[in-house]
Amino acid sequence: MKSKGRSAMSWRPLLAIAAIALCLLAGMALSVSIGSWSISLTQIGDILGQMISGGSITPGDPNGTIIWYGRVPRTLCGALVGFSLACAGVVMQGVFKNPMASPGIIGTSSGAALGAVTALYLGLASTNLYLVPLLSVAMAFVALMVVLAVSTTGGLTSRYTLLLGGIAFNAIFTAITSVVIVLSTEQYDMARKIVSWLMGDLTNRSWEHVTIIAIIALIGFIGALLYARDLNILMISEEQARNFGVRVNWSRNILLVFSALLTGGAVAVAGGIGFVGLIAPHMMRSLVGSDNRLLLPAAGLLGASLVVYADCLVRLVGSGGLRIGVLTALLGGPFFLYLIIRDRKKYVFF
C-alpha cells in the first residue's frame, strides 16, 4: 500500500506539468485564432505547417502575413514573458523564504521599467529595437547591484536588509519613472505610448521581440535551474547550507542576478505585468511540491498560460482599453489578500 502511495505521489508532479503544458498549448492556439480578421483553424494550421517546413509568405497573402508576422510573435512573446516572470518569482520566494515574494520586491522590476521608459522617452526605440530591452535589463541589474551594495556589510548580505533596501529603491525608481512620464506629457503620442506600455501590452510585437525574450528566458531559466539544488538547501537553513558546502552569499546573489535578468527581459518586452510571479509559483507549489528543480518549469508553464489567456481575454472583451497588466492586477490583488488573510495567524502581533 505504501509503495502504491509513493508511486502515485511521484507521478503527481509530472501529471500536473503535463496538464499545464496542454493548457498552455490550447491557450496559444486560441490566441493565434483571435483577431478582427477571421481566419479558420484549418488555414492557420496550413500557414504554420508551411512556415515550419521551410516555406515563405507571399506578399499577396494577407492571412499568412497576419498569422506569421502578427499573431504568432505576439503569442510567443506572451508565453515567454509569463514564463520568465514566474521563474523569477520562484527564485524570489525561495531566496526570501516567503511565498508572498515577487519579482518586484527588491526593485529590479521598477528599475527595468525606468530603463525602458527612459529609452522610449528619448526615442531610442525608433533608432534601434534592441536599445529598449538593453537599457531595461541594464537598469534591472543596476537596481540589483545598488540594493546588494546597500544590504551588504563585511561580505555578508542579510535578506532582511535586502528586502528593506529593495522597498526603498522601488519607491525611488517609481518616483523617477513618474517624472519621466510627466515630462513626456508634452508629446501626447509619446505619453500615451509610455502609459500603455506601463500597463502591460503585447500589441505589435515582432519576431525580433521573440528573439530577445527567448534568449533572456533561456539563459535565466537554465541558470536558475543549475542553482536549484542550492536554493532548495537555502530554503531550509543557511547554516545547513554551509554544512553542505553551499557558498551561501554567492548562490543567493547569483540567483538574484538570474531573477533580475528574467524580470528585466519580461518588462522590456511586455511592460508592467504584475502578480504573475506571485500567483504561478504559489499555485504550482501545492501541486508539484517545493523542490525548485520541478517548481521552476512547472511555475514557468503556468505563468506562460496566465499571460497568454489574459491577452486573449483583453482582445476579446477589452475593446482596446484594457491592458494585460491591469487584468493580472485585478486577479492578483485579491489572491494576495487571500494569502495574507489565510496566513495572518502566523504573523507576530504587537
Q: Print the domain residue range for 36.
A: 11-53+60-341
Number of structural domains the chain divides into = 1
State residue 36's pLDDT score: 80
Residue 209: all three cell numbers together: 521581440
State residue 344's pLDDT score: 61
State residue 349's pLDDT score: 45
Contact 297, 17 (CB under 8 A): yes
Residue 162: all three cell numbers together: 535586502
State residue 5's pLDDT score: 47
We report the CATH number of the domain holding residue 108 as 1.10.3470.10
**Does a structural domain hold residue 349?**
no
Distances (CA, A) of 262 to 87, 115, 202: 8, 15, 17
State residue 255's pLDDT score: 93
State residue 306's pLDDT score: 94
Alpha carbon of residue 11 to chain centroid: 27
Residue in 106, 126, 95, 88 with CA at minimum distance from that of residue 299? 88
Secondary-structure breakdown of the chain: helix, strand, coil percentages, each rounded to the nearest 5: 80, 0, 20
Region of 169 (left: φ > 0; alpha: ψ -120 to 50; beta: rest) is alpha
pLDDT in tens, 55-97: 888 877 888 888 999 999 999 999 999 999 999 999 988 888 8
**Does a structural domain hold residue 5?**
no
List the pLDDT tens digit at each of the 350 positions of the chain. 445 545 445 788 888 899 999 999 999 999 999 988 888 888 888 888 888 888 888 877 888 888 999 999 999 999 999 999 999 999 988 888 877 777 777 788 889 889 988 888 888 877 877 888 889 889 988 888 888 888 777 766 677 787 788 888 888 988 998 888 888 877 777 777 788 788 888 888 999 999 999 999 999 999 999 999 999 988 887 777 777 778 888 888 899 899 989 999 999 899 888 889 888 998 898 889 888 999 999 999 999 999 999 999 988 886 656 788 888 888 877 877 777 777 666 554 44
State residue 330's pLDDT score: 83
**Does a structural domain hold residue 145?**
yes
**Does a structural domain hold residue 4?**
no
**Does a structural domain hold residue 250?**
yes
**Does a structural domain hold residue 140?**
yes
**Does a structural domain hold residue 214?**
yes
**Helical axes 292-317 vs 207-226, angle rounded to 10°:** 150
**Does a structural domain hold residue 322?**
yes
